[in-house]
Structure 1
């Protein structure tokens, strides 16, 4: 691992960019760092101005370049039993510990650390940096940046999204839709169930229906599917409702996600869910006309489909093997692909360490990423 890589990883991890916080301090640091090397950055602000994406080009403004894409936000550390400071890189036993070392600041840091080398090589085709916000809470930031990449830069030949893949080529990932359902019932004394509409118990029936849909997918899964698990999943992660054990609950809210296989459409599950909800409403509204079941979509990121292409071939060459894989999590790669980019996931670190207390990346993975970037620079300089 090169000293400049360690320094840049340390810098980026030191910014507390948990998604609930602004990422502007990190973005401004990267902008100023690139400016010292004569590279102009372009910021794409969030609607409220509290966060921003950044894209920048090293090399000539010509077609055929490569986009290095990474998100700047990280997941919270609240309640996790860390044994080191999450926002200070700690080197120990061949590993770098800290929030974001694995997911996914190391990839971005290695690329940024090599900017002087990229410039010195006299690239004939450019390397574009594309840094986003709010990936961890629904891939909200990238679309506005991708719009600008489409309009403002010569078409690149490949986008490499540096999620932690252990430097393997990931050619497909699942999509995700995040939803929130609110049930409004009618309060009454729990001894008089005939006078009330229990929002909690109605929500429980809805949650069971969600699980039943996933059970159908599991039962009908294609044994040849390479995803684990090999079917579209539906999961309820948060549920809140009721005020006391002896009060029939008036309100209950639960949040759920649908992680779709490429080729599957989450809207079909929402349609089935709403149809089932509608069968419950007549009995609810016979007691309280104000009773209701509403669902809102909080996030929607498409899957990445395996379409072959130049990005895959490029990563095969840079990694020195043709092994491919798929992952069950969602990423911004599907959003790039949706806008016509040729895209693949490949980055240092293992997803097994992501989001964990004492998150870490093996130093050998950082070194592998450095070699990957050097080969990329060689390719674009010739």
Structure 2
């Protein structure tokens, strides 16, 4: 007999795999493959370049275009340095809360989708349900793009996707895009008493960082208060900076990391171009006038497209019908939903749990949220069987 799991029991199995982004997730993927195979469902593994991580996708129901994908990432954030009061990789339930790393973000949704497989198979689905499990979402949404390409290449093509990030089962129709950037400034080092003969990398970096802050403040001043995001404007932020050797040495190098988080209607590309233009016209010429071997390198380390609101979006229509939520919800954190949308698949974010618990010590999901997710899956199966 194929193994059946309740959503809670499936969640316990998934949480027990310590799939921190710095580790392999292959044990979890192998478990899911075996589970699906036990129910007669063939899955496709999409392995990364290292061979240590993989995504997985499967189709349940008729092999026709137009189905719905249920998407979750399998990786979780680290627990080191956090004050956990219990084993983070052993599920514990107490006072209506289910504790464990990933219970909220976002193995809860994966557990719901997988526990629902027997009911999906027993139903008379008119359109398929796709299960899509990615890797490395927490370190830049790296695993979803190759998985999506594999899904589209192998077919059938889903028309919509529900990305089950914790939203308290509210329907999220938009989120910001995110870019992570490293800027490296190459100066010319001299003794500080000969300041005029050198090019301070630290000083040049400081001007660029100040520009980032100036743009953010200008965006804040021009923000649309009706935009349902907090904050309702694009932010450009420097998170780390390192450079220089000593107080009496004009610095030879300085580097910093920053991120850009864009609101709908603005793109990461436009802000990258603005940054490059500022550096090329306001920073580099003055540096090279002193020494020709100076300059600035701008590297895009990661980019995740935003999720834009869709006009009469199919995913939004379905999610609202199944949840009854008609509120206007947008978030400022990033998800893989924008990556699906960029490939022509209508997308929303809707999943159990609160983002307030994500990445926290003693991470938990409320039992009521898991129950609401189970009801959502049952309604989805019934909806696709009509």
| Structure 2 counterpart of 1:207, from 206, 209, 214 | 209
From 40, 43, 48, give the equivalent of 1:41.
43
Task: Measure, in 2, the Cα distance between the counterparts of 1:360 and 1:242.
Answer: 43
Q: How does 1:1-382 map to 2 (within 5 A)?
A: 4-278=6-280, 279-307=282-310, 308-382=312-386
Q: CA deviation at 1:201?
A: 2.5
Q: Deviations over 1:222-263 (max 9, x none)?
A: 122111111111111222223344433222211111111111
Aligned residues: 381
> Structure 2: which 5+ residue stretches go unaligned?
none
Moved more, 366-375 or 307-316: 307-316
CA contact (8 A) 2:46 2:55 kept: yes
Counterparts of 1:78 and 1:295, CA distance in 2: 31
- Unaligned 5+ segments in structure 1 are none
TM-score (structure 2 length as normaliser): 0.93
1:115 CA drift (Å)? 1.2
Q: Distance in 2 between matches of 1:378 and 1:193?
A: 74
* Contact in 1 for aligned 2:5/2:115 (Cα 8 Å): no
Quick one: structure 1 residues 85 and 199, their matched pair in 2 at CA, closer, same or farther if it must change by over 3 Å? farther
- SS in structure 2 of the partner of residue 12 of structure 1: helix
Paired with 1:86 and 1:198, the residues of 2 have a C-alpha distance of 47
Looking at structure 1, the residues matched to 288 and 100 of structure 2 have their Cα atoms a distance apart, in angstroms, of 52
> Displacement, 1:121?
2.5
- Using the TM superposition, give the Cα deviation of residue 40 of structure 1 relative to its aligned residue in structure 2, in angstroms: 0.6
1:364 Cα shift? Answer: 0.8
Q: Distance in 2 between matches of 1:379 and 1:272?
A: 46
Q: Could you tell me whether the CA contact under 8 Å between 2:163 and 2:349 is conserved in 1? A: yes
Q: 1:8: how far off?
A: 1.3
- Cα gap change, 1:188/1:91 in structure 2, threshold over 3 Å: closer, same or farther? farther
Secondary structure at the residue paired with 2:107? helix
Report SS of the residue matched to 1:253.
strand
Q: CA RMSD in A?
A: 1.8
Distance in 2 separating the partners of 1:231 and 1:305: 14
